[in-house]
Structure 1
Amino acid sequence: MSLMKVVSAKLAAEIDQELMGPQVGFTLQQLMELAGFSVAQGIYREFPPNKSSANKNVLIIAGPGNNGGDGLVCARHLKLFGYHPVVYYPKRGKKNEFYKQLVDQLNFFKVPVLPEDIGPDKWLDYAKPESTLCIVDAIFGFSFKPPMREPFESIIDQLYELQNKIPVVSVDVPSGWDVDEGPLSDMSLNPAMLVSLTVPKPASTHLKPSASHYVGGRFIPPEFAKKFKFDTFEYKSTDQVLKL
């Protein structure tokens, strides 16, 4: 990690803006699909579903923004990869019709999406250490700014208590961390696995040494990376993720 370039929250926002600008032309939906697929592929690398075991359960906790959308896409691909995903989506994004479409797609693939009003602790029934391969933290991304509001403050506190029993996989930035400075307290979530999207952020340097770190999002040409002064990655074969 010491030789790897990372990008700040400000630069990450500029990269996304240019990718979705008129010259490049990606849509938010395209980038979200690539991101969610990358996270699902990273989970398959790290926690492959054992065909001889019934333990293929994955709980995805989705926030109200783009990070949550990445989690919804991830859940769909996990289903297709042979897992049994369950989605907890307590504050659903209502500003963009696309989020509703992602939920409709999960319903189409018979991926359970827990009711919004399920209750503050009922989601824990779907996070049993003996039957859950991992929990996907798709709550907040690089644009997170404190203070954290409910129900997410309580959810992340509960994830902190669970993280030594069930591996937590964070999408792009561990939820509740400052994207540039890392964890904000000793009680911050510390995932077993991080999938950085496009390029790692400075917070990734604060992962615990035992954590697995992947980069995902194989859609950046070298010239674009050079313009924004970060390194491209040597993805293998048709892989969408690379373990760092």
Structure 2
Amino acid sequence: MFDHAILRTRQMGQADAFAADSGVAGTTLMERAGRGVAQAIMARYAARPTLVLCGPGNNGGDGFVAARHLRQAGWPVEVFSFKAIEDLTGDAGWAASQWEGPVSRLDAAVPEEGALIVDALFGAGLSRPLEGEPARLAKASRERSCVTVAVDVPSGVQGDRARADGPSFLADLTVTFHRYKPAHLLQPAAGQCGDKVLINIGIPEGWHGEAGHCAQVNGPGLWTVPGLEIEAEAHKHSRGRLCVLSGPAGATGAARIVAQAGLAGGAGFVTLLCPPSALMEASTASLAVVTKALSRDGSFAEALEEAKADCAVMGPGAGLGETLRERVLSALGREMALVLDADALTVFKDDPETLFEALHARCVLTPHAGEFDRIFKDLRENCENRIEAVHEAAARSGAVVVLKGPDTVIGSPDGEVRVNVHASARLATAGTGDALAGLAGALLAQGASAFDAASAAVWIHGDAGRRMGAGETAAELLTRLPGALEALRRQRAREAAMSRLTPCTAPPADH
């Protein structure tokens, strides 16, 4: 349980303390951690000259253990220590005492081309910039063609803030322990970590009651997806009715992408509500999408009622103005499931409190960073990281908030936060965010909760993005969604089949 948990550095310390209180010695955890670092290195790289840079604390202790295991495997290893080994205390002092080779001062370390550097200087808890010899070595490791393996996080990177405020190591591989920290998942720090390996060091069950978590890594183990398996008696109206607000003529493209993604996401009936001037243009969205003229002066809530909408998506390409603002508030008054994106958020930039007062728990907001900043002013700037910013935004708005990006963060008003890194940089192109809004709307229309619909939509959208090839755009993304959904359906079917299997037992012996 809690396999998806993300821990702040303080929470990781509490998990370590729980292990100690449960009778697991700190030296045991350190031995497992250092051995795991060495094994991860040997699984990926051929033996080569290796410089192990050990800091003054437990991170350095992990480095001493890793050096010992690498040398025992025949690797040429040199160890350099920030502190004289006679000054090391606690578990780090024990680890240094187990190393039988020479130990040099840090200023004697000179990374050579092609060498492997084990950065075991400072862990995720460092809260100040590197200086002196660690800063020199961070710079030198970047300038030479070295392989750099970081222990816990690259030194100089702050584990909770997920960034470096000064010189820092750039890792090819980062080996961390027990659970991921924000720096392993949030940019820009995640990019500095390179490939990441998570090592189980044997912290006993029950640690979560002591430490808790700040977020979870988003994935299929956290939610279900309606419509993956369709019941025999299902029909189009039972599978959810989704309405999408279109922009005016010449600006219907975004809404058409939303509608097509809604169909791919399983909504049984999708209607584009359009200004009369856009009706002909919007009708090209899909043969399966219904278009309906929307009177400028008519009640938008009544239009949704007439369409028997289970969910509506508003904002993409809708155009800014008082009409959109009134329509959003009108739809919110119905307390139906809603996805608000793009213009439906920006239209409230001068008065976000009016939006927050009208929002409810069945709403999903899907801003990119700029839109987030317009309605949650200064929140990202004043929060420690994106996890904290989204946590605060969801609490403030009373809705599910999806802050889009390479590390999309999903927050629920009840305080739970999920971080999605299952995605692709190929999604950084116009229209893909509209597809996400449509997919979330489809899942909401089929009955998923707002938090799970948002979380599942983000993961499936990311999986479809991973299937995109060079040069593909939002149009091709729409064609990748069915494959992503089918792969998830098959995965669920395999898991269900495995759960039904029971071990065979021998028949009772005859007497």
- With the shorter chain as reference, the TM-score category is 0.7 to 0.9
Match of residue 138 from structure 2? 156
Match of residue 45 from structure 2? 47
Tell which has more relative contact order, 1 or 2 (C-alpha 8 A, sep 6+).
1
The one-letter amino acid paired with 2:121 is I
State whether structure 2 residue 27 is matched by structure 1 residue 34: no
Q: State whether residues 190 and 207 of structure 1, in contact with CA within 8 Å, keep that contact through their aligned partners in structure 2.
A: no
Residue 182 (structure 1) shift: 1.9
Kindly tell me: are residues 30 and 158 of structure 1, through their superposed partners in 2, closer, same or farther at Cα, counting changes over 3 Å?
A: same
Q: State whether residues 177 and 184 of structure 1, in contact with CA within 8 Å, keep that contact through their aligned partners in structure 2.
A: yes
Whole-Å separation in 2 of the counterparts to 1:220 and 1:101: 20
The one-letter amino acid paired with 1:113 is V
Query: How many equivalent pairs are there?
Result: 209
State whether structure 2 residue 157 is matched by structure 1 residue 177: yes
Matches within 5 A, 1:72-221: 72-92=64-84, 94=87, 96=89, 99-107=92-100, 111-114=101-104, 116=105, 120=107, 122-124=108-110, 127-130=111-114, 132=115, 134-162=116-144, 165-185=145-165, 187-205=167-185, 206-208=189-191, 211-221=194-204
Q: State whether residues 159 and 189 of structure 1, in contact with CA within 8 Å, keep that contact through their aligned partners in structure 2.
A: yes
Whole-Å separation in 2 of the counterparts to 1:101 and 1:25: 18
Larger Rg: 2
Q: Secondary structure at the match of 2:149?
A: strand
- Segments of 5+ residues of structure 2 without an aligned counterpart are 218-421, 423-511
Larger mean CA deviation between 134-143 and 69-78 belongs to: 134-143
Whole-Å separation in 1 of the counterparts to 2:24 and 2:160: 26
Q: State whether residues 82 and 121 of structure 2, in contact with CA within 8 Å, keep that contact through their aligned partners in structure 1.
A: no
Q: State whether residues 160 and 188 of structure 1, in contact with CA within 8 Å, keep that contact through their aligned partners in structure 2.
A: no
Residue 57 (structure 1) shift: 1.6
Whole-Å separation in 1 of the counterparts to 2:167 and 2:119: 16
Identity %: 26
Residue 4 (structure 1) shift: 4.5
- What's the TM-score once normalised by structure 1's chain length? 0.74
Match of residue 64 from structure 1? 56
Kindly tell me: are residues 10 and 216 of structure 1, through their superposed partners in 2, closer, same or farther at Cα, counting changes over 3 Å?
A: same
1:18-57 Cα distance to aligned partner (Å, 9 max, x none): 1112xx11122111111101101110111143xxxxxx22
Q: Secondary structure at the match of 2:164?
A: coil
Q: State whether residues 123 and 154 of structure 2, in contact with CA within 8 Å, keep that contact through their aligned partners in structure 1.
A: yes
Q: Secondary structure at the match of 1:11?
A: helix
Whole-Å separation in 2 of the counterparts to 1:140 and 1:95: 14
The one-letter amino acid paired with 2:109 is W
Whole-Å separation in 2 of the counterparts to 1:210 and 1:32: 21
More helix by percentage: 2
- Segments of 5+ residues of structure 1 without an aligned counterpart are 50-55, 232-243
Q: State whether residues 129 and 166 of structure 2, in contact with CA within 8 Å, keep that contact through their aligned partners in structure 1.
A: no
Q: State whether residues 8 and 159 of structure 2, in contact with CA within 8 Å, keep that contact through their aligned partners in structure 1.
A: yes
Kindly tell me: are residues 182 and 210 of structure 1, through their superposed partners in 2, closer, same or farther at Cα, counting changes over 3 Å?
A: closer
Whole-Å separation in 1 of the counterparts to 2:8 and 2:199: 17
CA RMSD of aligned residues (A): 2.8
- What's the TM-score once normalised by structure 2's chain length? 0.37
Q: Secondary structure at the match of 1:20?
A: helix
